Structure 1
Amino acid sequence: MLESIYIGMSGLTAYAKGLQTISNNVANLNTAGFKTSTPGFADLYYGQQFARGEPGAMNTMQFGSGVEYGYSSLNFAQGDLRVSNGQLDLAIQGKGFLTLLDGDTARYARTGQFAVGNDGFIEDKATGLKLAALSASGSLGPISLAGKQISPPQATTVIRFSDNLSTGSTSFSIPDVDVFDANGGKHTLTIAFAPDSSIVPGRWQVTVSDENNIPVQQGTLQFNGGIPEPGRDRIDFTLTSADAPPLTVTLDFSTGVTGFSAGSFSSLRVSDKDGYGTGTLSSMNVDVDGRLVLQYSNGQTDELGTIALASFANPQQLVQQGNGLFDASHASPPQYRSSNGAGVGQLLAGATEASNVDLSTEFGQLILIQRGFQASSQVISTANEMIMQLFQMRGQG
């Protein structure tokens, strides 16, 4: 009967640990990225005693030694995806894990809220671990904004035009044409057109003036049958500045420009031009392919790499560590993929994943564990009463 007491005590110990697991699940109801654990129990070592042999029966009897709290499995079911305001709040719809670097050690998470740290690396706000990305060669490394805060300028080299310059116009001009020099300085030009058909039909005098309305250069545009004549459909001009090297720009009328009569109305316009000034980083976002895209105030974009998603053959080998992190020290090495790659889901920006705690399931488990605890307690009470009865019988003898 003493063995029965010890068996009952093993039940109390095991169910107390099961209650601890359920309590932890319920307490993390609102913890982003949390995955519940399902408690598991295992029977203990069986001893044997010899019994009187009977035909067709074993001559031993087996007695168990109780129960222990066994392996608790993680439930990786998808949690609810919730929209957030952070540009770098990340969640995964489907399988896979974000990869976070703690020095040379990798940790994994289902969701996270990230920001640019003081050292320029993108890191998790809660843990300070650095978000990892895949390079072009497929290697893994932290994402750094070093040298990416500024978008360097590019000088304007060509201005392209389209639409019609009517032969009936006595004058026409296109104001507020912005060009940029090699240092990012902006120069606002006016391009004026005056007919010069007294010498050759279809000829126009083109004058480029700076922001002070001072002519910079003049050139000739020639139409032949309403189409710019090859060799006379481009005009080069050079703009000088005290703060930058001389800027040479080509006015290109070769494609999409016509010179037909439309009365006094001309629709000629700038259709395209290159060059831009210095830009500062204005926003960051993650596209559908998991690439981290930088956007600058000058309209330019840049990419920092593809955020790495880890795919594990057996996620049950991961160990939940707190702060939404998982340790993979005892797991097989993962495969790293981009968003929507083999074995991983889609990476979502501006979203977080809620915990996958289901209160109805947890309360059902809670009732079962409570009943097990009560039953084990009853076994101990019954064994104790039987021992007391033995002591009383001895005293009466």
Structure 2
Amino acid sequence: MLGAIYVGLSGLTAYSRGLQQISNNVVNMNSLGFKATTVSFGNVAGLNGRSQDGSDGNRGHGVSLDASRRDFRQGELRQTERDLDLAVDGTGLLVLLNGSETLYTRTGSFEVDVDGYIVLAGTNYRLATLDGSGRPVSLSIDASRIDPPVETTRITLSDNLSSTATSFELADIHVYDALGGDHVWRAKFTRAADSAPGEWTVTVTEGTRTIGIRTLRFNAGVIDPTTAELLFEDEPAGLSVTLDLSRNVTSFSSGEVSTLRTAKVDGHATGAVSSVKVNDKGEIEIGYSNSRKVQLGSIALAGFRDPQALELRSGGLFANPAGVEAEYARSGDTRVGAVTSRRLEASNVDLAQQFGDLILIQRGFQASSQVISVSNDMIQQLFGIRGQG
């Protein structure tokens, strides 16, 4: 009967610990990236298959809480308004570096620290990107805070300059000198009544100042190769710019309507960082005030064959104390999934399942306590027996 009490006590202990796990799951139902643990129980057999008193051990010695397993199923990806709120759509984990320490996380709000590194908010853990050899490294945007100016050398035009019109103008053509200075050019196309068929005069100006005058010719609506590239030089600004009409520029009749347009102007002004985000390819992308965008590196994602070996830390972080080998890959790799920005992963706790388990644990605890109560009553009855001389 004393053995029955110990069996009941094993139930109280196991179910108390199970309640602790269920409680931890429930209270973390709103913790970002939280992964619930499963609760299961197993029987306790005698030593080497036999009871301590030498009898058949098949009658058992109670119950214990089995080792918990973490449920790594993906939680809901909830939309946010921050470019550096990141989550993983797939099985991979984001890689975080802090000196020699490496941690992993499924989701998090990131920010740029004073040294230009993208770190998990409230920590010093830096978001890792992949280097040329595919290893995770920390990356600073400090060296890319300014986008140096590039001098304009070519203006590319396309579409049709009506052969029946006598004038056409392209305004607000922005060209840039070597120091990033912005010069607004205007290109005017005119055709005199006594000019040769298909011949135009091209005049480029900046404000009231004339940059240059060149002749443009078309043969039966097709541009004359000798005038397909017109060079205009602005000595005060140090500019030498080619007006390129060699690609898809025609001159066919369309009444007075011309569709000639500026397709591309190379060069750009100086740019300062205006945004830091992660693009659809999982790359850290900097946006500049000059409308340019530059990609700095691909975010590292880690995949594990046995994620159960990872150790849970506070804040939804995981460590790899067992040294389980990680596979590092870029976003979009089927082994790890894809990084998504403006998303945070919610907890994957199934509240209905937890409440169901909670009821079962409560009933198990009640039953175990009843075993102890009945055993105690039987022992009291035994103590009450009197000898009948």
The question of 1:366 aligning with 2:358 is answered yes
- How far off is 1:233 after superposition? 3.0
Q: How many angstroms apart in 1 are the aligned matches of 2:90 and 2:284?
A: 20
Please say which of residues 202-211 and 369-378 is displaced more in the overlay: 202-211
Q: How many angstroms apart in 1 are the aligned matches of 2:101 and 2:38?
A: 28
What amino acid is aligned across from residue 86 of structure 1 in structure 2?
A: R
- How far off is 1:27 after superposition? 0.4
Aligned partner of 1:117 in structure 2 is: 113
- How far off is 1:332 after superposition? 1.8
Consecutive unaligned residues in structure 1, runs of 5 or more: 52-58
Given the alignment, which residue of 375, 379, 383 partners 1:387?
379
Q: How many angstroms apart in 2 are the aligned matches of 1:35 and 1:151?
A: 42
- How far off is 1:202 after superposition? 4.2
Does the C-alpha gap of structure 1 residues 363 and 396 become closer, same or farther in structure 2, counting only changes over 3 Å?
A: farther
Given the alignment, which residue of 174, 182, 194 partners 1:178?
174
Please say which of residues 14-23 and 381-390 is displaced more in the overlay: 381-390
- How far off is 1:259 after superposition? 4.2
> For residues 1-397 of structure 1, what are the structure 2 equivalents within 5 Å?
1-44=1-44, 46-47=46-47, 48=50, 60-62=55-57, 64-166=60-162, 169-195=165-191, 202-211=198-207, 213-241=208-236, 246-260=238-252, 266-330=258-322, 332-393=324-385
Q: For the Cα contact (< 8 Å) 1:40–1:73, is it kept in 2?
A: no
- How far off is 1:101 after superposition? 1.7
- How far off is 1:126 after superposition? 4.4
Deviations 1:196-243 (A, max 9, x none): 6857654433322213x11122233233444332223322122244xx
Does the C-alpha gap of structure 1 residues 353 and 395 become closer, same or farther in structure 2, counting only changes over 3 Å?
A: farther
Q: How many angstroms apart in 2 are the aligned matches of 1:128 and 1:253?
A: 54
SS for the counterpart of 1:19 is helix
Q: How many angstroms apart in 2 are the aligned matches of 1:199 and 1:342?
A: 65
Q: How many angstroms apart in 1 are the aligned matches of 2:255 and 2:78?
A: 60
Does the C-alpha gap of structure 1 residues 263 and 326 become closer, same or farther in structure 2, counting only changes over 3 Å?
A: closer
Deviations 1:52-111 (A, max 9, x none): xxxxxxx95226443333301111222122111111212222322121223222211121
Please say which of residues 320-329 and 278-287 is displaced more in the overlay: 278-287
Q: How many angstroms apart in 2 are the aligned matches of 1:203 and 1:197?
A: 10
Q: TM-score, normalised by structure 1?
A: 0.87
What amino acid is aligned across from residue 266 of structure 2 in structure 1?
A: D
Please say which of residues 38-47 and 302-311 is displaced more in the overlay: 38-47
What amino acid is aligned across from residue 209 of structure 2 in structure 1?
A: I
SS for the counterpart of 1:393 is coil
- How far off is 1:274 after superposition? 1.2
Q: How many angstroms apart in 1 are the aligned matches of 2:219 and 2:193?
A: 12
SS for the counterpart of 1:35 is coil
- How far off is 1:186 after superposition? 0.4
Deviations 1:259-279 (A, max 9, x none): 456666554432322111122
Consecutive unaligned residues in structure 2, runs of 5 or more: none
Q: How many angstroms apart in 2 are the aligned matches of 1:342 and 1:264?
A: 55
Q: How many angstroms apart in 2 are the aligned matches of 1:66 and 1:38?
A: 20
Q: How many angstroms apart in 1 are the aligned matches of 2:257 and 2:377?
A: 111
Please say which of residues 190-199 and 371-380 is displaced more in the overlay: 190-199
SS for the counterpart of 2:379 is helix
What amino acid is aligned across from residue 67 of structure 1 in structure 2?
A: V
How many residues align? The count is: 386
Q: For the Cα contact (< 8 Å) 1:107–1:328, is it kept in 2?
A: yes
